Amino acid sequence: MTAEKTDAIVLRAVGWSETSLIVTLLTRDFGKVSALAKGARRPKSPFEAALDLLCRCRIVFLPKSGDVLDLLTEAKLMRQFRNRTQRLKNLYAAYYVAELLRELIDHGQPQADVYHLADETLLKLEQDAQVDGVLLQFEMSLLKLLGHQPSMTRCVGCDTPLLDEGPVHFGLLVSGVLCDRCVAGQRQVIRMRGESRKIFTLLSEESDWESGWLTIPDLVRGECRAIIQRYLTVHFDRQWQLHRYLEDLAR
């Protein structure tokens, strides 16, 4: 098996034996990789600090076939996550980014766009106070890249364009807005303010998230966060660990 080189973000590192780590990495060229880093916990480890959570590093690994873990042979630190804001919200938001990536990205599927998005998001979270906007943009961009983006402009029941700028029904299970006719009989439907829908529409239509980071108006910030969190919970049928922490800090 030949060694592979790529850039990676550390999504998780757990102890394995006295001296080794099992790391979960989001790589630029190989999707998610789980690898054994032998000797990573030794005082004179060749990996140094490169395998700390959220670090960006350049790795060399030996892919293994079947259920066997890949073997990490080198990791050179490129950038640590430095919470320059000294705000817990930024740190928990970065943890949340790692949690979403860890759960939603598959092993072995190249996701260069996702890697780039994650890298830029972490960079932004290191220094920006607008955490809600950064997270919302990350979540929507990630959903788009993974093909899970909810429909915000057309009814998901009948495909009719919803032109009214007032409140709309949003179906969490059906992944999108619903017109008054199609909403009947649907479960897990919530009301969304017109202003919130405008933000989601803007984020859905934005062809390139790199064109800038959005500032969410105070008026709808709470609602937008609540909607996206509920959508992620219902759509992927799982509770996200970091939602609780982010909600606690928002109170």
Question: CA Rg, the chain, in Å?
Answer: 20
User: Taking the CB of residue 145, how many other CB atoms lie within 10 A of it?
Assistant: 17
Tell me which of 102, 148, 193, 230 binds other proteins, using CB under 8 A. Answer: 102
Tell me which of 99, 128, 195, 206 binds other proteins, using CB under 8 A. Answer: 99
Cα 93 from Cα 66, distance rounded (Å): 34
Helix, strand or coil, per DSSP, at residue 77: strand
Q: Which of residues 31-90 bind other proteins (CB under 8 A)?
A: 48-49, 52-54, 77, 80-81, 83, 86, 88
Tell me which of 17, 127, 160, 215 binds other proteins, using CB under 8 A. Answer: 17
Stretch that binds other proteins, among 112-120, 166-174, 181-189, 238-246 (CB under 8 A): 238-246
**x/- binding map, residues 160-189, to other proteins, per CB under 8 A?**
------------------------------
Stretch that binds other proteins, among 12-20, 30-38, 66-74, 201-209 (CB under 8 A): 12-20
Task: Compute the C-alpha angle 227/100/240, nearest 5°.
Answer: 60
Indicate if the alpha-carbon torsion angle 77, 110, 214, 220 is positive or negative.
Answer: negative
CB of 162 closer than 8 Å to CB of 168: yes
- Which residues have a Cβ under 8 Å from the Cβ of 40 and sit 6 or more positions away? 13, 19, 20, 21, 23, 47, 51, 72
Q: Is position 8 an interface residue for other proteins (rule: CB under 8 A)?
A: no
Q: Is position 215 an interface residue for other proteins (rule: CB under 8 A)?
A: no
Q: Is position 242 an interface residue for other proteins (rule: CB under 8 A)?
A: yes
Binding site for other proteins (CB under 8 A): 12, 14, 17-19, 48-49, 52-54, 77, 80-81, 83, 86, 88, 91-92, 95, 98-99, 102, 241-242, 245
